[in-house]
Amino acid sequence: MGVTLRDIRESDLENIMAWRMAPEITRYMNTNPRLTMEKQREWLASVRRNTDVKYWLIQVDGQPAGVINLTGLNDPEGNLGWAYYVGEKRLRSMGTALSLEMSMYDHGLDERGKTAVYSDVFSLNKGVIQLHRLCGCEIVEERKNHVCKEGVWYDVTFMRMTAKRWLEIRGTKKYQKITFG
């Protein structure tokens, strides 16, 4: 498995639009968007201008697979937010998930010098919560009825990895190092 990241190109937008609207992806996200290529082009232009966020296309063995992003790059407190999805089912694996998450900690906490990385996960997404815990994350808070999506309320679990904790446990983790450019 060779996982690489690269900047998102306009030619990626159709794939990203399909992944982002797929029910198995949107099920665990705050919105169920109705996207168009025009909206995708506007989104890409806006994230390119926004110095507080960074998005990458995830490639597995050279094939487009999903998207990973960081938010809060300019946060004066040193906190980052992050999220990702692998939209191509055939390219999903535990190895890819572990490598993406732990390499993101290397990038955010070591390379960018941030103090903590946060994620929020729909509480019904037990697999991702377990994955984050396996990587060393701690649960910070669980909020009941935190997100309303199309009239349905969802509980959200907030998780965190601190730079101090990552430094303590990184040596016990085995993962393919992925470079964030």
pLDDT over 70 percentage in the chain: 99
Question: Does the residue 136 lie in any domain?
Answer: yes
As for how many domains the chain has, the answer is 1
| Beta strands in the chain, from DSSP E residues, in sequence order | 3-7, 53-60, 63-71, 79-86, 116-122, 138-149, 152-162
Say which CATH number the domain at 126 has.
3.40.630.30
Predicted confidence band at 181 (pLDDT cuts at 50, 70, 90)? Answer: confident
| Mean of pLDDT values over 135-147 | 98
What pLDDT, on a 0 to 100 scale, did the predictor assign at position 45? 98
What is the DSSP code (8-state) at residue 170? G
Rounded to whole angstroms, the maximal C-alpha distance in the chain is 46
110/131 Cα distance (integer angstroms)? 21
103/108 Cα distance (integer angstroms)? 9
Question: Does the residue 39 lie in any domain?
Answer: yes
What's the pLDDT tens digit per position in 70-85? 999 999 999 999 999 9
Looking at residue 98, its amino acid is L
Q: What is the CB-side half-sphere exposure of residue 150 using CA atoms within 13 A? A: 8
Look at residue 1 and tell me whether its pLDDT is greater than 80.
no
Question: Does the residue 177 lie in any domain?
Answer: no
What's the pLDDT tens digit per position in 153-178? 999 999 999 999 999 999 999 999 99
Question: Does the residue 178 lie in any domain?
Answer: no
Q: Which domain holds residue 33?
A: 3-172
